[in-house]
Structure 1
Amino acid sequence: MADEDKDSKTERPTEKKLRDTMEKGNVPHSREATIFASMLATVIYVTFFLPERMGRMGEVLRDLFEKPDQWHLETGPDALSLFTRIGWEVGNLLLPAIVLFFIFGIGSSMFQNLPTPVLDRIQPKFSRISPVSGWSRIFSTSGLVEFGKSLAKIVVVSIIMFFVLRSQFFHAIDSLASDPQTIFVRLSTIVERILTIVLLATAVVGIADVAWSRHHWFDQLKMTKQEIKDEYKQSQGDPIVKSRQRSIARDRARRRMMKQVPRATLIIANPTHFAVALRYVREEGDAPVVVAKGQDLIALKIREIAEANGIPVFEDAPLARSMFAQVSVDSVIPSVFYKAVAELIHRIYAQSNRTRVR
């Protein structure tokens, strides 16, 4: 069943799914990139900071072992002074390394993904301490890939180190009987070579792992066609429901429009297909306003309301069709219709004046 689900996930993940996944803290992350950053910090430390500080540390140890008479250990303050001196030198030796590890560690994480606070990742979950979940993670595809990468790194780095450093083996043995400063210098040289080899190997593995982690992360987020349809329904709404909502909204707007028909001054109609209700009152504006319009059954309803309220209806098929297509409800008519509508309004006022005279 799981294989079938995986095979059916053939579609690219949508932007919404990618965004939601990142907001939950599920982002592509390469451990090898972090290891490479740590190795780079180590090489920088060994190359630029370690020789000088190691020389100072060698001097302190030489004075400690060759001139023990200058260190008085008769009282507690004497021992505290000795430990303080040694601790200060050790701190001076390790402080640059701590700073470099911190900077490069944060930098490698920010290089892969910008930091985002995710409370869900720090909440306690039983699955994180469950032995069953732990074994499933170890023997999963990701766990086996991590094990393969670690094993490959160990084998490759060991082989390279063997061929590169076998000539330094006897020099390292001879340096054990020499001056402490010489021991540290030779050891630092050997360590520098070892770290350079490891750095190069880690760089190659890191580049490959960054590409693989992003590909694997994207592949895990692939969706089925049904998931895409469901997501579209959730984001846009069910088409049936939205159609029903639009129908209700149109019905309400139609009823509101019909209530405005008794306020119209005249109706321009195609005999049966179109009807446009206009209102013109000099005190309200300089141009007529469309208060209602409709087609077919709605047009007949507008004419029915107009006749019931004594509103004059003028049948002009071209004018009614043009105004219906170009003018929306509650809008002033364009200037192109001024002349035709003005003639109709003039006829209404003339008829009204004749009625008053009679």
Structure 2
Amino acid sequence: MSEQDQESKTEEASEKKVRDAVERGNTPSSKEAPIFAAIAATLIAGVFLMRDGAAAMARHLSDFLADPAGFDISTSGNTTALLLHAAMQAGLFLWPVFALFLVFGLSAAFLQHPPQLALERITPQWSRLSPSKGFTRIFGSQGLVEFGKSLAKFAAITVTVWLILKSDKNTVVTAMLRDPSALPELILTIAIRLLSAACVATIVIVAIDLVWTQKFWRRSLRMTKQEVKDEHKQAEGDPILKSRRLSLARDRARNRMMAAVPRATVIIANPTHYAVALRYVQEEGGAPLVLAKGTDLIALKIREIAEANDIPVVEDRALARSLHAAVQLDQMIPPEFYKVVAELLCLVYAKKVA
């Protein structure tokens, strides 16, 4: 991506774009975290496993180490048995170390982001073989950052190792005068000190790298103003089409409402601005039902249909306004209207009888 394209991306990534990136496997991942996990695993193995494991392995192989010529390897069966015994003892010594490395390596990955299957990340892409893009990755801004981190890591570890070895210079020089059996313990002690110092130096780099990786990932997902508008349109729909759909839905609802007016028992009007069509049939049970309501032109249309079907129209300004505001279509009137509507229906039925 060119610098000009990146500069045009001024808007923070939306939640949808972040979610899509994660689903594709594009997640922030620090390359220094696995390295720190490996160093830490080596340190823990050296402190808790190496000493006792090596001693146990030496005990089991002491006979072979003491008298290697005393073992019969004249036949393939004896040789195989000897090799299997040595391999088993080596396996008992090494499997806790391998398990420790596996746990620390997986933890370094899973703690940054949960595991998921992203086929797009492993699908072959010819663009990844492009020399120009490879050159950009190596010598671009991200490549320079990776080079800077590697240089800082090398410098920190080199200085740390130099300081540790300088403090142990006399011990290292006089090691040749010691009992050879004490050399493994001495080497392990110095190695543990070096690893401890390397962990301290590396953890600072890892912390900085985690923050930088997250920031760089968010920056790479930034959007242009046009992309934000396009995504909003996709999520909410085209405003023009959405307006048309709403208009069609309102028209259909209005037509269904008008088709129900001929079934009304009475129309309550105000006198032209509001109109509410009520249906009440004693055999159907329940309270009066609102079949239609409207204002202005719709109210006039309701009255027109009512007059064409000989439905009584009663003008009551207060009642018409109150019913229009309080009751929705296809709902029964609330209890506070029972008395006044009942009186009105009595008058309507009395006129029909007369």
- Give the TM-score normalised by the residue count of structure 1: 0.90
Distance 2:314 2:190 in 1: 105
Partner residue, 2:294: 294
User: In 2, Cα distance between the equivalents of 1:226 and 1:36?
Assistant: 41
In structure 2, C-alpha distance between the alignment counterparts of 1:339 and 1:310, rounded to whole Å: 25
SS state at 1:283 partner: helix
1:192-231 equivalent positions in 2, closer than 5 A: 192-231=192-231
Match of 2:155 in 1: 155
* Residues 146-173 of structure 1: CA deviation (Å, up to 9, x unaligned): 2211121112211221122135456446
- Alpha-carbon RMSD across the aligned residues, in angstroms, is 2.4
SS of residue in 2 equivalent to 1:112: coil
1:132 CA displacement = 4.0
Offset at 1:82? 4.0
Q: How does 1:259-298 map to 2 (within 5 A)?
A: 259-298=259-298
Give yes or no for contact 2:289–2:332 (8 Å, CA) kept in 1.
yes
| Deviation sequence 1:272-325 (CA, Å, 0-9, x none) | 211111111101123211111111111111111111111111112222122111
Is the CA contact 1:269–1:276 (under 8 Å) kept in the aligned structure 2?
Answer: yes
Q: Shift of the alpha carbon at 1:55?
A: 3.4
State whether structure 2 residue 343 is matched by structure 1 residue 343: yes
- CA–CA distance in 2 between the matches of 1:53 and 1:13? 52
Q: CA deviation at 1:62?
A: 7.6
1:185, distance to aligned residue in structure 2 (A): 1.5
- The one-letter amino acid of 2:140's match is S
**Counterpart contact for 2:160–2:201, Cα < 8 Å:** no
1:14-41 deviations in Å (ceiling 9; x for gaps): 2111111111111111111111111111
- 5+ long unaligned stretches in structure 2: none
Structure 2 CA distance for partners of 1:15 and 1:283, relative to 1, 3 Å: same
TM-score normalised according to structure 2 size: 0.91
- SS of the residue aligned with 2:344? helix
Following the alignment from structure 1 to structure 2, what is the Cα–Cα distance between the partners of residues 127 and 288? 71
Using the TM superposition, give the Cα deviation of residue 115 of structure 1 relative to its aligned residue in structure 2, in angstroms. 1.1
| Equivalent position of 1:115 in the other structure | 115
Range moving further from structure 2, 326-335 or 168-177: 168-177
Q: Please list, as runs of the form range in 1=range in 2, the aligned pairs for 1:57-96 lying within 5 A after superposition.
A: 57=57, 67-96=67-96
Cα offsets for 1:143-200 (capped at 9, x unmatched):
2212211121112211221122135456446546865532222211121121112111
Identity %: 48
The amino acid of 2:33's aligned partner reads A
In structure 2, the CA distance between the partners of 1:83 and 1:168, relative to structure 1 (3 Å rule), is: farther
Number of positions where the alignment pairs a residue of Structure 1 with one of Structure 2: 354
- 1:338 Cα deviation from its structure 2 partner: 2.2
What secondary structure is seen at the aligned counterpart in 1 of 2:292?
strand
Note if contact 1:58-1:180 (Cα within 8 Å) is conserved in structure 2: no
User: Which runs of 5 or more residues in structure 1 are unaligned?
Assistant: none
The alpha-carbon deviation at position 61 of structure 1 amounts to 7.9
Deviation at 1:138, TM superposition (A): 1.9
Preserved contact between residue 172 and residue 187 of structure 1 (Cα < 8 Å): no
> In 1, Cα distance between the equivalents of 2:144 and 2:130?
19
Deviates more, 1:147-156 or 1:337-346: 337-346
Displacement of 1:250 after TM fit? Answer: 0.5
1:237 is matched with 237
1:45-99 C-alpha deviation (Å, 9 max, x unpaired): 0011111223355567886566343234434344434433433333233222100
Q: Which amino acid aligns with 1:40?
A: A
Q: Is the 8 A contact 2:289 2:331 kept in 1?
A: yes
Cα distance, 1:332 vs structure 2 = 1.0
1:125 to 2:125 alignment: yes
Secondary structure (helix, strand or coil) at the match of 1:27 reads: coil
